[in-house]
């Protein structure tokens, strides 16, 4: 309750500027319409306020989401269901020379039937996770607070953004992990203006930490903790049968990028963004060993263009991202002191795991940005993914390549004091190529690797309907969808209520 009260007070403290109440529900189209992702430079560069359509915005909202997945329609470590309550706020206010922006959120959720994963942020820390064979429902409370400012001086705009995230997750049955996560992120940016040109640079640094403490509360009971290494392998020397386990994950995450934008007219804009990243993480055990280190190297780029066509705007976006993950493992030899105390001496270290993830996306949207006019819009999207993973000594590998297509049709219907937005979308995911080589037959192979591989290599269709109605300052949103593969399916829904200023 103290954390929730703290978040609520933070919401109240954030600056917002109310516009005409009759206009608020319609102006949200500029901030929540389908074209917002086609000019996302401000999300990376806090000084790129030129990419935003409006100079002031405020939102305070609450939403609830739930999902349920059949067998073989979810990853084992994600669980087969989710219930989540979120309270969030955002605000942005810009004058001629200065801009202020802030955000805060509180999330309370439950993931059902999570298996072989006793940590948060598994995609960041994969493959060196802790897992047990029992599993169960995972509960989580997380909050974030952030904000920033940008200042325009001459042909330059300087911006700085900061964000703090914290959270606690746990299970209510043995074994009972309690994970405490915290991260601090700093994001500076600079933009130079020269006629129709905008040239920007941004950087990001994040300090990450997660403490994992696992206890078995039932007397005289022990659980086998698996220190996983990917593809069903696990560290047999340090996987233990015990009543408790402790691990600390620490990391430094860096990224930087450049973007150039050209605006010939208000309705003809083009942009190019290039970025690189390098993440360095390590896992430390309670006996001061650091057996695992993770290095992530990434490059990415996106190209955007928008053009006026007979009263509407055509938005085009293409992007490509490549992320390499390298896992370095340290081997130790034991030394016994006084017949009872064991210390571990460094023996050797080598890179034993590597993954290479590629993703390319292309999207096309034809929509009307004029929030006060009735319009029908359409969008088509395509995404290609190729994920390869290798584990050396012993030799394991996995490859999954897929292509996903999606089409959406929607309408924007502004009225005198209210507004209705609706959309319906559908698509299909097709696996183009897959391969798995796994020599060992362990409990992890049978209950973790093979079920995940079956899901990752399955084709499925998906459909979604979204409705949003706003009246004066208040808006309500309903979303529902389904993913279906034969008789197996995933269903999800979300309902939200917000105040828009």
pLDDT in tens, the chain (501 residues): 445 444 444 444 444 444 455 577 788 888 888 998 898 999 999 999 999 988 888 999 999 999 999 988 999 999 999 999 999 999 999 988 999 999 999 999 999 999 999 999 999 999 999 999 999 999 999 999 999 999 999 999 999 999 999 999 999 999 999 999 999 999 999 999 999 999 999 999 999 999 999 999 998 899 999 999 888 789 888 898 999 999 999 999 999 999 999 998 777 899 999 999 999 999 998 888 899 999 999 999 999 999 998 889 999 999 999 999 999 999 888 887 776 677 888 889 999 999 999 999 999 999 999 989 999 999 999 999 999 999 988 889 999 999 999 999 999 999 988 999 999 999 999 999 999 998 878 888 889 999 999 999 999 999 999 999 999 899 999 999 999 999 999 999 999 999 988
| DSSP per residue, 173-187 | SSSEEEEEEEEEEEE
- pLDDT tens, 420-469? 999 999 999 999 999 999 887 888 888 999 999 999 999 999 999 999 99
Give the structural domain span for 177.
2-500
Classify the C-alpha dihedral 17-21-22-27 as positive or negative: positive
Its pTM stands at 0.92
Residue 200 structure tokens: 């920007």
Q: Would you state the pLDDT for residue 21?
A: 53
Cα gap 147→144, rounded to integer Å: 10
Structure tokens at 173: 């049955």
Whether the Cβ atoms of residue 369 and residue 313 lie closer than 8 Å to each other:
yes
Asked if residue 341 lies in contact with residue 334, where contact means CB atoms within 8 angstroms, the answer is: no
Domain count, the chain: 1
Say how many CA atoms lie within 13 Å of 85 toward its Cβ: 4
Round to whole Å and give the CA distance between 4 and 108.
10
Write the secondary structure of 396-463 as one string of H (helix), E (strand) and C (coil). EEEEEEEEEEEEEEEEEEECCCEEEEEEEEEEEEEEEEEEEECCCCCHHHHHHHHHHHHHHCCCEEEE
For 178-220, the pLDDT digits (tens) are: 999 999 999 999 999 999 999 999 999 999 999 999 999 998 8
Sign of CA dihedral 219, 222, 228, 232: negative
C-beta of residue 360 within 8 angstroms of C-beta of residue 317: no
Question: What is the pLDDT, as a whole number, of residue 103?
Answer: 96
Backbone angles phi, psi at 120, to 5 degrees: -95, 165
> What does the DSSP assignment read for 211-266?
EEEEE--STT--EEEEEEEETTEE-TTT-EEESEEEEEEEEEEEEEEEEEEEEEET
């Amino acid at each position: 309750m103290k954390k929730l009260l703290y978040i609520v007070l933070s919401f109240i403290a954030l600056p917002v500027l109310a516009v005409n109440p009759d206009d608020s529900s319609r102006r949200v189209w500029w901030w929540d319409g389908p074209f917002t992702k086609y000019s996302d430079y401000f999300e990376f560069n806090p000084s790129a306020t030129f990419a935003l359509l409006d100079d002031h915005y405020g939102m305070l909202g609450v939403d609830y989401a739930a999902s349920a997945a059949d067998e073989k329609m979810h990853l084992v470590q994600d669980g087969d269901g989710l219930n989540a309550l979120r309270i969030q706020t955002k605000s942005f206010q810009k004058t001629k020379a200065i801009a202020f922006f802030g955000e805060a959120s509180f999330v309370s959720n439950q993931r059902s039937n999570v298996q072989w994963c006793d940590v948060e942020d598994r995609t960041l820390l994969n493959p060196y996770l802790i897992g047990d064979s029992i599993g169960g429902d995972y509960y989580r409370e997380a909050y974030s607070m952030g904000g920033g400012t940008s200042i325009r001086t001459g042909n330059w705009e300087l911006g700085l953004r900061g964000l703090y995230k914290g959270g606690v997750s746990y299970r209510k049955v043995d074994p009972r992990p309690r994970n405490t996560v915290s991260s601090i992120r700093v994001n500076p940016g600079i933009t130079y203006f020269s006629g129709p040109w905008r040239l920007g640079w941004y950087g990001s640094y994040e300090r990450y930490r997660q403490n994992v403490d696992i206890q078995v509360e039932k007397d005289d009971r022990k659980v086998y903790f698996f220190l996983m290494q990917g593809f069903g392998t696990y560290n047999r020397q340090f996987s233990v049968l015990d009543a408790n386990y402790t691990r600390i994950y620490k990391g430094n995450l860096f990224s930087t990028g450049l973007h150039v934008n050209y605006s010939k007219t208000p309705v003809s804009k083009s942009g190019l963004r290039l970025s690189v990243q390098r993440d360095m993480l390590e896992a430390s055990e309670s006996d001061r060993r650091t057996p695992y280190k993770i290095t992530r190297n990434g490059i990415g780029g996106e190209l955007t263009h928008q053009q006026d066509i007979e009263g509407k705007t055509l938005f085009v976006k293409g992007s490509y991202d490549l992320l390499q993950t390298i896992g370095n493992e340290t081997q130790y030899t034991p030394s016994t002191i006084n017949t009872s105390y064991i210390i571990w001496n460094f023996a050797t270290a080598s890179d034993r795991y590597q993954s290479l993830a590629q993703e390319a996306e292309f999207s096309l949207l034809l929509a009307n940005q004029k929030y006060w006019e009735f319009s029908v819009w359409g969008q088509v999207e395509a995404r290609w993914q190729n994920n390869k993973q290798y584990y050396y000594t012993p030799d394991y590998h996995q490859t999954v390549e897929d292509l996903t297509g999606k089409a959406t049709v929607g309408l924007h219907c502004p009225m005198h004091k209210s507004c209705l937005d609706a959309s319906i979308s559908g698509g299909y995911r097709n696996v183009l190529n897959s391969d798995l080589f796994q020599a060992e037959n362990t409990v992890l192979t049978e209950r973790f690797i093979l079920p995940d591989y079956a899901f990752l290599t399955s084709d499925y269709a998906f459909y979604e309907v979204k409705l949003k109605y706003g009246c004066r300052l208040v808006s309500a949103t309903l979303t529902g969808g389904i993913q279906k593969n034969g008789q197996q399916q995933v269903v999800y829904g979300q309902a939200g209520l917000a105040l828009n200023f």
